[in-house]
Chains A and B, each alone.
Chain A
Amino acid sequence: MAVVSPPASLLRPWSDLLPELLGHIIAFLPFPGDRARLRAVCRGWCSAARRHVRQLPWLVLPDASFCTIAADGDDGCTSFFFRRGNIPGLPEDATIVGSTGAWLAVDRTDDPRRDVNHRHSYLLHNPFSSETVPLPELDDVISHVSDKFEVRKVLMRSPSSAPADDVIAVITNSCYCNVILCHPGKGVEILPYFGICDVAFLGDCLYGITADEDLLVFELDEDEDDGRSIVVNGKRVIKHPLADGEKDPWSWMDDDGDGDYDDNAGNDNDGDGVVNDDDKDIGPYTEVPYQGHAITTRKLVVSQGGELLMVRRIMQEPPFTRSFTREVKVFKADVGIGKWVPVDHDPLGQDGALFLSRAFSKCCQVFGDMKPGFMYFEDVDEVFDTRLWTAMPFTIPWQRKLFRLEWTTWVFPPEVVV
C-alpha cells in the first residue's frame, strides 16, 4: 500500500483523539517529564491525562526492566512492562540491587556470571533526572566479595536530598559489614556482626532490627576530622524474650546507658519465649498445622506520623499453589518500656500506604491509585488492607516472577502528574 502524505492543512488534528485512547498512549510514557509536557499541549489532552493517568510507584526488576502499575481494576491492575534499556543513562552492566526514594542502587560488575568472584562497583542513579552518583567509598569495602554476597537494602537518610550530601545505609548479608554507612566523598562507617535485617533513619539515629526482633539504635554524629557520619553510641532498646536456655549474645550492648538485664521483663510479651527463626519454628503465631513453607519477614518503617513501626508478615508458600499472606501484624516501638506494642487500629495512619519488597520498605502518603491503609507487596498477588486486616487479590505483573529469588524494588517517581 502506498502512503501518500496529504498536505499538513488536511491532516486530522489529534486533539480529536478519544480521551481513553490518549490514556492508553500515556501509559507507554512512564516518565513524569513526558506526562507533564503533554498537559501543556492542549486542554483536551490535559483533561484526558488527568482522568486516565493514575498509577502506583514503579516496580523495578534486577535487570533494570520495570513495570508501571495502574490499579484500576477490581482485583488488580493494568501493568506495563518496560524492558531493560528504557532507563536512560544506566550502564550496560548494571544490576539493580535496591532503591531509595527516586534513586536506584546499582551494582556494576565486570563479569555477568553469578558464580564467579568478580569486581563490583556501586552507584546511585536517578532515572527521572538521569543523575548518577558513584559510590567509591562503598567500592572500597565491598568491591571484592564472594558470589554469595548480597546487598539487602539501600536507604538514604533523607531521600529528597542529593546523595552527595546525605548518608546512605547499605545492609548486606555479610557479617563483616552488616550495615555500611556510606557518606559520599567522605567515607564509611561499618557496623559488623549485629545481624541487622532492616534499618530505618529517624531523628539523629539509625535503627536496626534483627531477625529476633531486637531493636538496636545507633546515634549518629559527624566526625570532627572528615565530616563523615559516625556512630557515637549504640545500644539495644528492645530485646526479644529469651527461650529457656537461650543465650543472649548481645547482652553487652545493654551495658551502656540504661541497659536492662531483667530477663523476665518481656515474658508477658506475645512473643512469649519463642525464637522466631525464619525457617525453623514460627512459634505461637501458628494457628494451623504445617502446610508447607512459611516465611516470616520483619520490616522497619517510619510511619507518616513519625513513629517507628515493625511490620511482621508471615507468608505461606505452599509447594503447588500460589503463595499467600497468612498474617500481618504491625507493632510500634516503645523504647521507654522496651517493647513492641501491637497497633491494631489503622497502623498506617489516616492516609498512609505501605510498600514492601525484599529490598524495600516505605510508608508514604497516598497518591495516584494507592488506597489508604493498604500494604502493597511484590511477591504475592495480594494487597493487605490494614483497616480490615485482610488480604485482597491484586494482580502483580507476571514478569516479576521471572526473578523469583531476586531482589525487586519499588521506586517512586518524584512528581506524579494527575
Chain B
Amino acid sequence: MEVDKGKGEAEETRKVAEADRDTVTLKSSDGKLFEVSKEAAARLSTVLAGMIAGGSIDDNGTDLKQIGSEALENVVDYCNKHANSIPSAALISSSISFNTAPFKEPEEWERKFVDRLSHDALFDLVEAANFLGMERLLDVTCHKISEMMKGKSPDQIREVFNIKNDYTKEELEEIRQELAWAFYDD
C-alpha cells in the first residue's frame, strides 16, 4: 500500500469515478473481466450489493476467485436479461411486504436461460448464485435441477448427475425395503 503513493491516489480518483459509473467490472477466477449494470447487480445479489455499498468494488475488476469464467458469464448474462425483462414478478413481490416472499415459478425467459446450460455449467451456476447471494437465480437453477430429478429412480438420477453409488448392496436393499412405497418403477 505505502510503496506507491501515486497508485493510491489514482485508486482514490478511480473510486470516485466508479461511484458515478453505472456498471461494475467483475473478474473471474481465471482472470476474465465482465461488466454488469450496477443497478442489476445490487438488486439481484446481496453480496455484490454489499460490496458496492461498502466501496470494495475495483474498477480493474472485482476479484471473484471462487467463480470460473463460464459461470460468471452466465451470472452476468442473467443480470442483464433480468434488467431487460423484469417487471411483473419484481413489482408484485415488492408490493407485498412479507419477509419471506415465497418462490414464484420461473418465467419463460428464465426457463430458457437455464435449459440451454450443460450439467456442469448448471452446477457451477448454482454454486455461483449461492456464493453471490442471488436468491432468485438460486431458486431458478435449483428448480431446474429438481425437475431433472422428478419421477426418476435412484439409478437414473445417479446416471444423470454422474454420481457413484457408495452404498453397499445390503444398505441399498434396506433403504428399498424401508421405502418400498417410493420404488414403484425400478
List residues of chain A with CB under 8 Å of any chain B CB.
Answer: 1, 3-6, 8, 11-15, 17-18, 20-21, 24-29, 32-34, 36-45, 67, 73, 76-81, 83, 395, 397-399, 414-415, 417
Contact = CB atoms under 8 A, between A and B. Distances in A.
A405 B123 CA distance: 43
Interface of B: 70, 73-74, 77, 96, 98-105, 116-121, 123, 126-127, 130, 138-139, 142-143, 145-147, 149-154, 157-158, 161-167, 172, 175-176, 179, 181-184
A76 B152 contact: no
Contact of A40 (B105, B119, B167): B167
Contact of B100 (A3, A42, A76, A399): A76
B167 to A, nearest CB: 7
Nearest to B145: A25
A33 B161 contact: no
A7 to B, nearest CB: 11
A24 B154 contact: no
A89 to B, nearest CB: 13
A25 B123 CA distance: 12
Contacts, number: 139
Given A18-B127, A25-B149, 15 more contacts: A21-B130, A24-B138, A26-B146, A28-B143, A29-B149, A33-B181, A38-B154, A39-B175, A40-B175, A40-B176, A40-B179, A67-B102, A79-B100, A81-B104, A415-B182
A243 B167 CA distance: 70
Contacts of B150: 29, 34
Contacts of A39: 175, 179
A72 B181 CA distance: 28
Contacts of B147: 28
B154 A37 contact: yes
A13 B163 contact: yes
Given A32-B182, A33-B181, A25 B117 contact: no
Contacts of A34: 149-151
A81 B93 CA distance: 13
A413 to B, nearest CB: 12
Contacts of A12: 119-120, 123, 162
A15 B164 contact: yes
